[in-house]
Amino acid sequence: MAIEPLPDGRWKVDVEPIKGKRFRKTFKTKGEAQRFEATCRAKVVDNPDWSPKPKDRRLLTELVSAWFDLHGHSLRDGERRRSKLDLVAKRLRNPQAAKLDPQTYAHDRRVRLGEGTSPKTLNNELGYLRAVYNELRGLGVIDYANPLALVKPLKIQERELSWLTNEQIGELLDEIRKGCDNPHVEIISLICLATGARWSEAEKLKPTGLRNAVITFSGTKSGKVRSVPISTELEAKIIKHWKQHGQANSAITSFRRALARTTIQLPKGQAAHSLRHTFASHFIQNGGNILTLQKILGHSSLVMTMRYAHLAPEHLMDAVRFGPARLL
């Protein structure tokens, strides 16, 4: 009983509003005892410290689902991210999200790295997981810190970007023209070489995206629309191709087969993207401005475009002008 009389006429209060918060006090009158009890119980409602929230026992997959419903669905790659996050959660045995152990995560990452998963893929997944916690905390869905906040991404050895010389461009186009079973491969390749477009952007180009010798790309990786001028000769060639063969369809496989039949050797994963690198590399080597190149390629950050800066003629000549060999 919370209030009980004592033999000496006083009243004893023994109240426990919440588990672990117990108060005992003696009063001269019953009214004082009742007011004290009421005050203790009222604090449970008024003071959050007196009424702590139940522990968040949601599993990692449940947090991923909440993230997708509240934010991920609006992202261009939201579905893909959710699938990857669900797979990561499954590998980690779907722990309680609030108790995700950074050491357990780091150990699993090391195992996957040993199995051949690329560091870039693992870093992307870490970024996706962090985003789930950060976004949900910002929305008030969770009230605890990101358990992976201090986990560092893996260091990645930067790969040299592959690009084709004029001779290799000629060899590739000759092989495409004489041995390709897909008629769209040549025109897509020419668009990439002329504009620095990604293969998917050139492949999805529609007639509404070509006006007055200017190609406008929409639905890009960055989500931004960008326009790049082309020669009138290429414009006429594209229009003629559309009249003869219609809109381009999936042609990347045929391109890779044609590339494999040439003497050109490219790093793994840089097949179609080498055309984009080729445009950028030739643009810089021929004296193009790095800021202009950023706009043409659609890079959101100049850091990405600066990967090509070392190919600039003045950059190369600096090695001669300022290097120690000038003293010899």
**Which of the residues are catalytic?**
198, 221, 273, 276, 299, 308
- Tell me the two tokens of residue 254: 């045929």
Q: Is the four-CA dihedral 307, 313, 314, 316 of positive or negative sign?
A: positive
Task: Residue 85: name the closest of 69, 65, 103 by CA.
Answer: 65
One-character DSSP codes across 184-233:
HHHHHHHHHHHH---HHHHHT--GGGEETTEEEE-S-TTS--EEEE--HH
- Tell me the two tokens of residue 108: 């699993």
Beta bridge partners of 3: 13
Q: What distance in Å separates the CA atoms of residue 319 and residue 310, rounded to the nearest whole number? A: 11
* Interior angle at CA 250, CA 189 and CA 282, nearest 5: 20
Q: What distance in Å separates the CA atoms of residue 151 and residue 133, rounded to the nearest whole number? A: 13
Task: Residue 66: name the closest of 87, 90, 86 by CA.
Answer: 86
One-character DSSP codes across 24-45:
EEEESSHHHHHHHHHHHHHHHH
Task: Residue 43: name the closest of 4, 65, 73, 16 by CA.
Answer: 16
Rg (CA), the chain: 32
In Å, how far are 57, 86, 94, 151, 291 from 98, measured between CA atoms? 7, 16, 11, 15, 44
